[in-house]
Amino acid sequence: MLRLGDLSLFVRAASLGSFSQAAREAGLLPGQVSAAIKRLERELDIRLFARSTRSLRLTAEGERYLPYAQGVLEQLREGREQLQTGRSTLRGLLQVAAPSDLGRNVLLPWLTAFRRQHPALGLRLYFSDRVADVFREPVDVAVRYSHAPEASFVALPLAPANRRVLVASPAYLQRRGRPQTLQDLQEHECLLYLLSSRVYDKWAFFEAGQRRQVGVRGALQSDDGEIVRRLALQGEGIVYKSWLDVSDDVLAGRLEVLLGHLEGEQAPLHLVCPHRKQYTPAVQQLYQLLRERCEALSATRPRAPS
């Protein structure tokens, strides 16, 4: 008889391409995962994986069987969620991925408050500026900055009108002065962000509906949005970030908005699900909470004069 646990480990090992990674995720030893796969292969009388000392890949039979295994697990999950629909108590584990800065400084208190409201629900949080793959990685939803969500997944708007703003600390402005034009930025220390090894050193703005871009430079760069924000707070330079990331700092006077007559680039925020079947009661309630909080925060953003 097939064991659901073995089936689940097969799906995760196929997705991750590794028995060891599947074992770490499940809190097991690699040998236990290997034994589970062997049991499943005996039950099916087929070989699911081609193994070597350096690689692990699905056989042709394994590739044909994988969608059926995924379908069985998804149906069981959907059935469990249907039984829970309508209950006031949310249960299980909800896995959420979010950008580093936004996750730590904005979402974290909202997420912990949400969990306190639903003590039977567990949260597993992944805060990183690496974009989570909601199809391959063990996450249920991801919070993403994105302009055009892919049609292959469900993207629910959290802050569609969110924009970037140019900010610096009072200490930096006292030391270096306040830029009056976009061209002035070329004479300032700008804190640069990297994503996938690409340096974002061209900042775009809008004035009277016209897009304007300026090349900037700076000695300090990081691939972590939280580090870039901290450097700005320490007075190391000017930063161009999402309003949601720096709103608390601006409202508290730790950072000041620069060139307020210009409109920053759009940075819409979405809650992403792999597909509609994963729009569970827990995700629905989390989405409602995050949208309300993000809309309230977006409303505090200073607007450029028309």
Over residues 211-232, the pLDDT tens digits come to 999 999 999 999 888 999 999 9
Are 113 and 243 contacting, i.e. CB atoms less than 8 angstroms apart?
A: no
18/219: higher pLDDT: 219
pLDDT band at 290; cut points 50, 70, 90: very high
What's the mean pLDDT when you consider all of the chain? 86
| Helical segments of 89-135, H only | 100-102, 108-117
- Joined together, the tokens standing for residue 224 give 């972590």
Residue 229 is inside which H or E element, if any? helix 225-233
Instruction: Read off the pTM.
Output: 0.67
pLDDT of res. 131: 61
CA 111-112-117 angle, to 5 degrees, is 95
pLDDT at res. 134? 46
Task: Provide, rounded to the nearest whole percent, the portion of the chain with pLDDT above 70.
Answer: 89
Percent with pLDDT over 90 in the chain:
45
Q: Which domains does the chain have, with CATH numbers?
A: 4-84 (1.10.10.10), 92-162+268-298 (3.40.190.10), 164-264 (3.40.190.290)
Sequence-ordered strand ranges (E) for the chain: 49-51, 56-58, 92-98, 121-127, 141-145, 154-159, 164-168, 192-195, 198-200, 202-207, 210-215, 221-222, 239-242, 256-257, 263-264, 269-273
